[in-house]
């Protein structure tokens, strides 16, 4: 179930709210291919943890997941510039 989409600047760990939790990337970036077999985007998975990323003993993994999609650097169309803001999809099981 997808609960929403949004754009955000890229960071490895994203602290949310007043330090009540954070998103952490899980694994390497995956390549996304078009019908011709060419790479047209990259996907990274994130998991939401409650607590502070600075105190591993008090963090708790949650059921919330996020997929981040971004275009390759330098990707543009004639006369258009692509910004470096990836698209995110947040979901819970």
Predicted pLDDT at 83: 54
Predicted pLDDT at 18: 64
Record the pTM: 0.65
Predicted pLDDT at 5: 44
Whether the Cβ atoms of residue 33 and residue 42 lie closer than 8 Å to each other: no
Confidence of residue 2 (pLDDT cuts 50, 70, 90): very low
Q: What domains lie within the chain, and their CATH numbers? A: 2-72+84-91 (2.170.150.80)
- Comparing CA positions, the residue from 69, 90, 93 lying closest to residue 16 is 90
Q: What is the pLDDT of residues 19-66, one digit of tens each?
A: 788 888 888 889 999 899 988 889 988 899 998 888 878 899 999 998
């Amino acid at each position: 179930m997808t609960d929403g989409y949004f754009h955000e600047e890229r960071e490895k760990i994203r602290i949310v709210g007043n330090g009540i939790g954070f998103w952490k990337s899980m694994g390497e970036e995956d390549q996304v291919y078009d019908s011709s077999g060419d790479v047209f985007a990259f996907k990274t998975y994130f998991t939401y943890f409650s607590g502070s990323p600075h105190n591993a003993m008090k963090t708790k993994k949650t059921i919330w997941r996020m997929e981040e999609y971004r275009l390759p650097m330098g990707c543009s169309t004639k006369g258009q510039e692509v910004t470096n803001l990836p698209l995110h999809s947040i979901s819970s099981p």
